[in-house]
Structure 1
Amino acid sequence: MKVKQVSAILNPPAPHMVGDGFRVHNFFPSGYKLNMSPFYMLDYNAKIEFSARNEPRGVGVHPHRGFETVTIAYHGAVAHHDSAGNSGIIYPGDVQWMTAAKGILHKEYHEENFSKKGGLFQMVQLWVNLPAQFKMSTPKYQGVKQSDIKKYDLSENGGIIEVIAGNYKGAKGCISTFSPIEVYNVRVNEGAKTDFNFPANFNTAFIVIEGSIKVNGTSTAKTDQMVHFQNDGENIDLEALENSVVLVLSGEPINEPIASYGPFLMNTAEELQQAMTDYNEGKFGYLE
């Protein structure tokens, strides 16, 4: 089976603040010009210590249309509310998968108790594009606790693979998606090896959340780096050089036009204009 070759080992771009609660490195689309469809954006909040504060930091009410927001927690806790009536708190290992689709308002901020104590904070937020036929579907929310995520045990106490979305060797993720997507948290122990198999045309990347790894026997990557792959093979080998956590992303590209503006991700300029009109007319609901 042909190896999916590494295209680049990427350092995290310079950070910026999203609201006052998320200090993120934008790997794409602004940090690096990568084709990662169906993943449109990846903001990586590398480890940072937040001081204690009574008023929780975060991002106030804002709209989305045409895609999904995915938040994966590693340290700290994030609370969420949206105009469809969904709310939840994600703790380390948990995942929040919100389908904005035809339009939603939401806000996300540090969970109250975490905010009052302060501490280590580390998160990933993804924007996952929706195929045109689903962009105006009904919004939905999938909140998944780590304990409910399907796990695949690696042999010889090598670690576990948490299948958030997709299917790893028969372990199927509980998140439903609108196009073929594989999202795993790989928690692998020092010296252990594992492998992955994705179609050649799937856009694929690893983000090293913790530790350091060797990929395909040659390329090494350490904490906070991204491994980006070429679209030229199927098989990837991973070896942990120390106890490591790796976020694995792979998905079938959505080969449709993209028109984006701020919090809207559509196919045409006319659809973007309509999104702004609908938002201004209050059609995304209400949220304090």
Structure 2
Amino acid sequence: METKTKEVANVLKAPAPHMVGDGFRVHNFFPSGYEIDMNPFFLMDYGSKIEFSARKEPRGVGVHPHRGFETVTIAYHGAVAHHDSSGNSGIIFPGDVQWMTAASGILHKEYHEEAYSLTGGPFQMVQLWINLPAKDKMSKPKYQAVKQADMAKFILPDNGGNIEIIAGSYQGITGNASTFTPIELYNARINKGGKASFNFASNFNTGFMIVEGSVKINGTELAQVDSFIHFKKEGEEVSLEALENSVILILSGQPIDEPIFQYGPFLMNTEAEIDQAISDYNQGKFGYLEE
């Protein structure tokens, strides 16, 4: 059976930015920026490139809770430090990924890494919230550090660049991050004139975030830096050509066909579960983390 092209639904420009804490200036593409279906990806905050001035006291976001989902932070410029109430901590530098499974509940804080803060400079990040199925929402929290040096890569022919596989698999190469549901997450680093093709299940929700450069999709659609390409939920094949040296974050995932009830930093299935999350947080059941 012949595969069908997965067509572009929309090329979306970055919504107006807002600050998260004092360290992260982000454009929320979904769910608030655009009403698009990217389930199991619930939220995408894109921090377009910005210059931060040098500062002794690191900027960031103080201690806050999460339950019912995973946060995935991908660094492109700058460096981010993380601590959580499960005892995990780490620093992500350009090309690194931090995959935190909040699940039953966690407190964490994120801020500019100390040495970066002292010098300042360019800063660019993406943070995703990935929903968990009901059966896994109350599982034990965990933390996965995916360093760029250890990342699985597929080298494109003709000096076309490479595809870094964070999760899922590409051309038979599997990424290091484990997921609860089928998810494909890659950084495509494609040189000018380089080409790559992708195959995703027709029922997967798929989007490409243009982090750097400009690209042509399926031979026709053009997309510039800081825009998000949302695909139709049909067809499988996507072709990509870089019009200049480009970096593209590629998301595709099988939808979780369950009700979603969100309140602030909690992502559950029912209002009663949200009430329970608030109660558990107030009772200190998410652990302790120093400010």
Instruction: Identify whether the pair has TM-score above 0.5, normalized to the shorter chain.
Output: yes
Structure 2 Cα separation of the partners of residues 280 and 210 of structure 1: 42
Structure 2 Cα separation of the partners of residues 219 and 194 of structure 1: 15
2:174 counterpart of 1:141: no
Q: Which amino acid in 1 is paired with 2:186?
A: Y
How far is the alpha carbon of 1:192 from its aligned partner? 1.1
2:192 counterpart of 1:179: no
Structure 2 Cα separation of the partners of residues 40 and 115 of structure 1: 30
Q: Tell me what 2:76 maps to.
A: 74
Q: Tell me what 2:59 maps to.
A: 57
Structure 2 Cα separation of the partners of residues 221 and 190 of structure 1: 14
Structure 2 Cα separation of the partners of residues 49 and 90 of structure 1: 18
Tell me the SS of whatever aligns to 2:158.
helix
Q: Which amino acid in 2 is paired with 1:5?
A: E
Tell me the SS of whatever aligns to 1:59.
strand
Deviations 1:223-279 (A, max 9, x none): 000000001100000000011000000000001000000000000000000000000
Q: Which amino acid in 1 is paired with 2:57?
A: E
Q: Which amino acid in 2 is paired with 1:68?
A: E
Q: Which amino acid in 1 is paired with 2:258?
A: E
Structure 2 Cα separation of the partners of residues 157 and 172 of structure 1: 22
Q: Tell me what 1:201 maps to.
A: 203
Deviations 1:19-75 (A, max 9, x none): 000000000000000110000000000000000000000000000000000000000
Structure 2: runs of 5+ lacking an equivalent? none
Q: Which amino acid in 2 is paired with 1:273?
A: D
Q: Tell me what 1:35 maps to.
A: 37
Deviations 1:91-110 (A, max 9, x none): 00000000000000000000
Q: Tell me what 2:219 maps to.
A: 217
How far is the alpha carbon of 1:78 from its aligned partner? 0.1
Alignment of 1:99-138 (within 5 A): 99-138=101-140
How far is the alpha carbon of 1:210 from its aligned partner? 0.3
Q: Tell me what 1:269 maps to.
A: 271
Alignment of 1:222-261 (within 5 A): 222-261=224-263
Tell me the SS of whatever aligns to 1:133.
helix
> Number of paired residues?
288
Structure 2 Cα separation of the partners of residues 26 and 73 of structure 1: 16
Instruction: Compute the TM-score of the two structures, normalised by the length of structure 1.
Output: 1.00
Tell me the SS of whatever aligns to 2:162.
strand
Please list every run of at least 4 consecutive aligned residues from structure 1 whose deviation after the TM superposition is greater than 6 angstroms. none
Tell me the SS of whatever aligns to 1:31.
coil
Structure 2 Cα separation of the partners of residues 234 and 67 of structure 1: 27
Structure 1: runs of 5+ lacking an equivalent? none
Instruction: Compute the TM-score of the two structures, normalised by the length of structure 2.
Output: 0.99
